[in-house]
Chain A
Amino acid sequence: SQKIEQNSEALNIQEGKTATLTCNYTNYSPAYLQWYRQDPGRGPVFLLLIRENEKEKRKERLKVTFDTTLKQSLFHITASQPADSATYLCALSGGGADGLTFGKGTHLIIQP
């Protein structure tokens, strides 16, 4: 069955450093991969979308890579700030009408 794995342990990063989150998947050939941020008690907020034929996407301090050979996406936050502390979710989909499949998320803590 399709499986998406994100670090279940909380990730503690010192302010100013680069935070790198991992999303691995198996039994899946996604056409699109998305990253979302979720704060406690709130719905997820869309951050970035990357297509299977794109290797890298950037938006301000955020960068996403997508390696379909390794079946892995890396999500980077450079110059991290305490306000970046949240749970980050990756989500995959095929190109058709199927729904988004989400990972369980990684809880990121940026310490001052």
Chain B
Amino acid sequence: KAGVTQTPRYLIKTRGQQVTLSCSPISGHRSVSWYQQTPGQGLQFLFEYFSETQRNKGNFPGRFSGRQFSNSRSEMNVSTLELGDSALYLCASSLEPGRREPQHFGDGTRLSIL
């Protein structure tokens, strides 16, 4: 069974631009969560989607948004990029929402803002 796939793996953008990251969950997994990882803050929860609906959102500004499609694939968008948005963005999938199940992570998208 293929794992969680995130594209692209690496991305370089400049301040003020916007970016869209993509995540394909494990087949059969309907819940997708997004996390931001930085050396200073560690792994921080962005949001979770299930059945095309955002179920939960972390403490991030409205510049961070996401969506989920009917095939469970998900995208996240960051608008008006800032230098502090440089991070590893990780997507995780699970069979169902809620935190009783293991999260299966992709290898992330490394976003660098110049």
Contact = CB atoms under 8 A, between A and B. Distances in A.
Interface of A: 31-32, 34, 36, 41-46, 49, 89, 91, 93-105
A100 B105 contact: no
A38 B10 CA distance: 18
A97 B45 contact: no
Given A97-B98, A104-B42, A43 B107 contact: yes
B48 interface: yes
A46 B42 contact: no
Contact of B43 (A44, A45, A46): A44
B100 interface: yes
A96 B98 contact: yes
A93 B100 CA distance: 8
Query: Binding site of A, secondary structure by majority: helix, strand, loop or mixed?
Result: loop
A46 B90 contact: no
Given A43-B108, A97-B55, A99-B48, A34 B42 contact: no
Interface string B93-114: 0000111111111111000000
B22 interface: no
Interface in B27-57: 33, 35, 42-45, 47-48, 55-56
Contacts of A102: 35, 42-44
Interface of B: 4, 33, 35, 42-45, 47-48, 55-56, 58, 90, 92, 97-108
B98 A45 contact: no
Contacts of B33: 99-100
B98 A43 contact: no
A60 to B, nearest CB: 16
Given A99-B56, A99-B58, A101-B45, A42 B107 contact: yes
Nearest to A48: B102
Nearest to B41: A104
Nearest to B106: A43
Contacts of A42: 107-108
B74 to A, nearest CB: 14
Contacts of B47: 99
B98 A34 contact: no
A7 B98 CA distance: 27
